[in-house]
Amino acid sequence: MVNLLAKSLAEKIQPYLLYFTVAIFCCLIILCVVSYFVKWNFKKILKISLISFFFYALIIGILLLSLEIKEKYDKAYLKENYLNAKQVSLMVFMPSIITLSLLLISGVIIAFLSLKGLSVKRASIVCGSVCLVALIITLVTMGVYYSKNFTADGYYSEKLNNKALYVFAVLLVIIMVSLVFYLDRNGNFVFDSKCLATAGVCIALSFALSYMRLFKLPQGGSITLCSLLPIMLFAYIYGCKKGLICGVIYGLLQAIQDPFIIHPAQFMLDYPIAFSAIALTGAFKNLNLFDKLPSLKFAISAIITAIFRFVSHLMSGVFAFGAYANGKNVFVYSVAYNSFVFVDMLIVIVVGALVVSNKSFMSVINRDKEQEKE
């Protein structure tokens, strides 16, 4: 009963929240534009607007996540939608939540040390190692769950290519890590207090905006109100390495928000790997290309991000979800289904191009670059 109420409430309030959020967003933009031209304290008003929108988005995100967890992690829902409700809770959902919790706790520890003026290098290594071990354990438990429930289920197993999933997951990880280290070879993974706070705000905003769905697909995926923009802007400013960490965390959040998991490699392809592509928004940070055309610079990096994310979802669709093609060509079906990525990114590019072309925004970026050099 409670589960049905949570589902009903979430479905009823989401459309209204979408319209209300768009209205608030437009009002804040108008306020900032007016303040800029009438010579008010533009930076102060912009700061207050962003802080206000952040807290609004945070409240909305927590509310909708709570309702969604109540719906999708309820025993009745699990029993209806999964082969083994008890096993999926213990071997898929709980390890994922623990891994994400460890990532968040690590962020708090590093932020505390940074604020105290202490070295965060050793803490970052320890926390990173713990989180990596947790992720590996999560993948192992998912593998055990898959082998017990899907290897001969007569539906997914008919079209699922186990070897190809692992090969492409590993291949895309290698490609992503190589690109990140090459494009951001002068960067690092160390977050100071300002950078960490910015990352937290951007992830929270993106997660809250991911509930503002313009269109949702039946087997996962949606077109949103430019939900990826905040963390893409973070990667654009701070570079690929820091953007990679934010992308992986956001991918894990998406896995908890809208879980559609049948295989450990499919989980990697659809969540951490796909959203790690956000790191590529910072591809031109250390390259003197299109510096005088920031809108074009952002658009090109966003297209690269969309292509990598699309390929990751495509491989998952071809080798894990072929059963949904209903006898049609699996590759063509997956290409058509996952093309939502480009529609979603188009909205981000339009809004993002306007943001980065703003002189005040670019002055902040240039100031941060100068501080990093010092």
| Residues 293, 85: Cα–Cα separation, whole Å | 52
Same domain, residue pair 209 and 296? yes
Give me the CATH number covering residue 210.
Answer: 1.10.1760.20
Confidence band for 244, pLDDT divided at 50, 70 and 90: very high
For residue 242, is it within any domain?
Answer: yes
| Residues 171, 166: Cα–Cα separation, whole Å | 8
Q: What's the rounded mean pLDDT across residues 336-362?
A: 87
Same domain, residue pair 358 and 211? yes
Same domain, residue pair 59 and 203? no
Same domain, residue pair 156 and 75? no
Number of domains in the chain: 2
Phi-psi region of 40 (alpha: psi -120 to 50; beta: other; left: phi over 0): beta
Which one of 81, 102, 127 terminates a domain? 81
In this predicted structure, the answer to whether residue 332 has a pLDDT above a threshold of 80 is yes
Report how far apart, in Å, the C-alpha atoms of 322 and of each of 114, 155, 258 are.
48, 9, 20
| Residues 171, 312: Cα–Cα separation, whole Å | 10
For residue 57, is it within any domain?
Answer: yes
For residue 109, is it within any domain?
Answer: no
Phi-psi region of 369 (alpha: psi -120 to 50; beta: other; left: phi over 0): alpha
Same domain, residue pair 202 and 333? yes
pLDDT (tens digit, 9 = 90+) per residue, 76-86?
665 655 556 66
Neighbouring-strand partners of residue 223: 215
Provide the pLDDT for residue 271: 92
What percent of the chain is modeled with pLDDT above 70?
Answer: 75
For residue 112, is it within any domain?
Answer: no
Same domain, residue pair 76 and 157? no
Same domain, residue pair 321 and 190? yes
Q: Where are the alpha helices (DSSP H) in 192-293?
A: 193-209, 229-238, 240-257, 264-268, 274-276
Which range has highest mean pLDDT (42-56, 101-115, 172-186, 285-299)? Answer: 172-186
Please give the structure tokens belonging to residue 46.
């912009």
Same domain, residue pair 181 and 283? yes
For residue 217, is it within any domain?
Answer: yes
Provide the pLDDT for residue 156: 63
Which one of 81, 112, 132 terminates a domain? 81
pLDDT (tens digit, 9 = 90+) per residue, 197-225?
788 888 888 888 888 888 888 878 889 98
pLDDT averaged over every residue in the chain: 80
Same domain, residue pair 339 and 203? yes
Which one of 63, 81, 99 terminates a domain? 81
The parent domain of residue 51 ranges over 1-81
Same domain, residue pair 176 and 62? no
For residue 120, is it within any domain?
Answer: no
Same domain, residue pair 275 and 185? yes
For residue 2, is it within any domain?
Answer: yes
Whole-structure pTM over 0.85, yes or no?
no
For residue 122, is it within any domain?
Answer: no
Q: Helix 193-209 to helix 42-72 angle, to the nearest 10 degrees?
A: 60
pLDDT (tens digit, 9 = 90+) per residue, 145-176?
777 776 665 566 667 788 899 999 999 999 99
